[in-house]
Structure 1
Amino acid sequence: MADKKPADGQQFYQRPPKLGKWEAFSQFLWNSETKQFMGRTGASWAKILIFYIIFYAVLVGFFAVMLAVFFQTLDIKRPKWELDRSLIGSNPGLGFRPMPSDKNIESTLIWYKHSDKGNVQYWQKEINKFLGVYNKSNNPHADKLEECRQFQLPSPGKVCDVKIDQMWHPCLKDAGYNFESSEGGPCIFLKLNRIFNWNPEYFNSTTIEDPGLKMSEELKREIRDAEAQNKHRIVWVTCEGENVADIEHIGPIRFIPQKGFPSQYFPYTNQDGYISPLVAVYFEKPKRGVLINIECKAWARNIIHDRVDRRGSVHFELMID
């Protein structure tokens, strides 16, 4: 049978040879007949490469310009939105240390056995870690620290030091923060959360008579006595059992070095070397083997207390076996 010949102007195409998987892959990588690498010629690859170089260069340049414009509106030392205009607002809360292990991140229970050194050491190490910044050798701006007189602001360019000395006994490292005591309870450290440019409004003998103010008579008496000595410019701190049983079991409490945060530490304006003031709460004789719910509050006229949202206060539990 004679082979068919294409008519004028027509062309017959032959089916390409059937290739194996490896042969097809090898031909995809490099086709020697068409001089194509992975399905494209060198010129085609060059055009794509140039396009994407230009595309991403323009994209990077655009975002760089936008970031430069954005950062021109910011101050690295000062937030754009402050106090009530900011997300955290103008109502500081309290924090406590030591905190339970990260394995129980939602827990606020301080539970230990005073005779179990391994158990006690965890809490002591957590406090040591927290207090590390209060050691001048760990503060990169130690030259900015100044020993301030009470209620007097530091010198320009300086910040007030928080000196943890023998006055803090037994809430000292050498005393193990009293965690190993066979009778007394531990020392728990409180700090006021930092809010940029927040200034407390201090209570006095007039403002404590506000009928809507739920303040204990004991604290009112302390404020009156402090005002008589012109020493009332303090964000006061109180701690008490949350329920009737907790109040019965908590025992006497001592605040070290004083019952609050004095005015020389305010306001916080992101100063170099700034360290937050502290209050150590020493539980002198809490009931053993009983879970005690404790609520500590900070007191200033512009601090609102909300137990649900923990505004102006902090809650934790204490249990000593």
Structure 2
Amino acid sequence: MAGKSNGVDTSDWARTPPTSGPLWERVCKAIYNPEDKSFLGRTPKRWGIALVFYLVFYAVLAAMFAACMGVLLMLIDEKRPMYTLESSLIGANPGVASRPAVEGSFLLDNTNTSSYGIYVDELKDFFSDYTTEEWYLSRKGCKEEDSFGYPTSPCFFIKLNRIYGWKPQYYDAKSLPTDMPEHLSEYIASLTDIEQQQIWISCVDEVSNATSIEYPWGRGLPGRYYPYQNEVGYISPVLAIKVTPPANTPTTIRCRTWAKNIIYNKSLKEPSGYTRIQLYLEDNTSLNSTNTDGAEIK
């Protein structure tokens, strides 16, 4: 029956209701209709139009994506990050780290080589890149030859995390902070102006004064290695500290870095400007000696 919509005769284009019939016949006709030779509701011509449309659409989309990526890669500097220091997510306050790195405490047994062998091996791997550095070769102590002092007087190595473009602001002997350890202040005062251009490091036993702390490589990180600018073959400077803790006593060493633009926050929740080293030296020498004497008596 002819009908009108808004004054327009719709009898020519109105969709006719689907023909009734068995379910299987309707399913087969929905897949392929022999009357108009359509497959899944589309004639070959309409399938061709749809195929061409999507080919063109995705080709244009791929071209736009490639163009955007090309422009982005042209703007990216492989050596210098776009955002540095305060404008970057890393910020301008370098983190302090130590090697060997371990989560939790260092457990050392002076009668069990396997308890500290992993730390010695880690340090060997770490310093494999330093073997051609003159300043490293000139240092005495805390080397592979003496197993880096393990287990009784282990050496730890303090370093700063790399931040592109960061340059330390040095203290001079006339403007040292009041909370700087006296022995470090006296050491700085004995140096020339050029020698004072270092990032100073001081370590202290948080629990007691029973731990002996030595600095066989000096007291600071030389300023000539800064700023870091992604140079090929760049090696981060490190400072060795030699720790001799009391046996069978938990020990915590706090090592702080000193520069005018290094923010120090003692909080354990948001620490900055320092690193902590927890270790426990187990001394079983007397126990082994007692067992040996008992065996000889028998």
Q: 1:165 aligns with which of 137, 146, 161?
A: 137
With over 3 angstroms needed to count, the CA separation of the structure-2 counterparts of 1:84 and 1:15, relative to structure 1, is closer
TM-score norm. by structure 1 comes to 0.71
Q: Does 1:214 align with 2:214?
A: no
Q: What is aligned with 1:56?
A: 58
In structure 2, the partner of 1:238 is 202
Q: 1:92 aligns with which of 91, 94, 97?
A: 94
Q: Is the 8 A contact 2:131 2:137 kept in 1?
A: no
> Please, what TM-score do these two structures have when normalized by structure 2?
0.76
Which shows bigger deviation, 112-121 or 290-299?
112-121
Distance 1:274 1:320 in 2: 35
Are residues 1:69 and 2:71 paired?
A: yes
* Distance apart, 1:29 and its partner CA: 11
| Alpha-carbon separation, structure 1, partners of 2:17 and 2:63 | 53
Match of 2:263 in 1: 304
Cα pair 1:241 1:293 within 8 Å, conserved:
yes
Cα separation, 1, equivalents of 2:154 and 2:64: 57
For the Cα contact (< 8 Å) 1:162–1:277, is it kept in 2?
Answer: no
Q: CA deviation at 1:123?
A: 1.8
Task: Kindly indicate whether the alpha-carbon contact (under 8 Å) linking 1:95 and 1:191 is maintained by their aligned counterparts in 2.
Answer: yes
Gaps of 5+ in 1: 1-10, 101-106, 137-160
Mark the CA change 1:203 to 1:50 in structure 2 (over 3 Å): closer, same or farther: same
- Extract unaligned runs of 5+ from structure 2: 1-15, 283-298
In structure 2, how many angstroms separate the alpha carbons of the residues matched to 1:307 and 1:36?
A: 76
> SS at 2:233's partner residue?
coil
Is the aligned partner of 1:17 residue 2:19?
no
Matched residues in 1 for 2:110 and 2:74: separation?
Answer: 55
1:111 equivalent to 2:82? Answer no
For residues 14 and 263 of structure 1, the distance between their equivalents in structure 2, rounded to whole angstroms, comes to 88
Per the TM alignment, residue 36 of structure 1 is displaced from its structure 2 partner at its CA by: 5.7
How far 1:126 sits from its partner (Å)? 2.3
The answer to whether the Cα contact below 8 Å between 1:293 and 1:317 also exists between their aligned partners in 2 is yes
Equivalent-residue separation in structure 2 for 1:12 and 1:261 (angstroms): 86
Residue 139 of structure 2 aligns to a residue whose secondary structure is helix
2: CA distance, partners of 1:256 / 1:41: 86
Identity of aligned residues (%): 29
Shift of 1:286: 0.6
Distance 1:196 1:41 in 2: 62
Root mean square deviation, CA, Å? 3.0
Aligned mate of 1:223, from 185, 188, 203: 188
CA distance in 2, matches of 1:248, 1:167: 27
Distance in 2 (CA, whole Å) between partners of 1:70 and 1:253 is 51
Q: Distance in 2 between matches of 1:281 and 1:28?
A: 85
